[in-house]
Amino acid sequence: MNQLKLPRIIIGAMRLGSWGAHLSKNDFNLFVNGCLDMGLTAFDHADIYGDYTSEAQFGELLKENSSLRSQLHLITKCGIKMMAENRPDHHIKSYDSSANHIISSVETSLKNLSTDYIDVLLIHRPDYLMEPDEIAKSFTELQNQGKVLHFGVSNFTPSQFELLNASFELVTNQVEISLLKRDALDDGTLDQCMRYGIQPMAWSPLKGGAMFTEMADPGVIRVTKVGDALCEKYNCELDTLLYAWLLRHPAHILPVTGSSKLERIVAAKKALDITMDREDWYRLLEAAAGNEVA
């Protein structure tokens, strides 16, 4: 088994740059080092983030302080081709998991991130035209060259994961999982991860902040009511409680944060100190679903 060891909380980089906070160079440095001070060393990127600019912004930090690289785990993704100003050859949004595109994307990410290797490379979305043996060949080449240590996928169904995993051993599937987005609990995704002994990554673990912005949503109202009582019990804030709900699952889910604010990262990390009671876990599930389990 190709084991991958990462901190239980992963820092999402999608909203740090032009797609979100527009952090200045100084604020970017403070944020990254603040995360490292908390022992949160894994940063989740994708080539497309910030319209293909976010990796380079992060890489500026490593370029100026190369000693940071040994303290980090860098995750990035490829396979989505977006239309963007600096990608004039992309005429429509499409997926490309060809060997040429994967290898070219990795070379670009290595340059942008100012690093010699990537810890984890994910295929960002399942490509309807993907050829597993071709992908496996490109993965093997990159791994043998020391340019990528581990490989996984993102947003793959269990059958799509199975198809590629048969040709190359994968270490994770990063999918959307939250109390308000629970498909992975029932569609076989988490079962599959447990079967193979790999840890799934959960993007949008707070459902894109829906718990704090969509206050008229019936599910949000029910979860907030139950959550407020449980926050008193566990002496935490609601976002911490929602992270703790994910961490309680036996698949050992790795939530990927979406915030650029260190105080919210602190709140996420506090979830590591909470072991949620089984009945409390189901109380939150019942509130989100609007009905008790069968």
As annotated, the active-site residues are: 49
Residue by residue, DSSP assigns 70-125 as GG-EEEEEE-EE--BTTBTT--S-EE---HHHHHHHHHHHHHHHT-S-EEEEEE-S
Query: How far apart are alpha carbons 262 and 278 in whole angstroms?
Result: 30
Query: How far apart are alpha carbons 45 and 114 in whole angstroms?
Result: 13
Q: What is the largest CA-CA distance in the chain?
A: 56
Closest to 208 in 3D by CA, of 190, 185, 181, 228: 181
Answer whether 138's CB lies under 8 Å from 106's CB. Answer: no
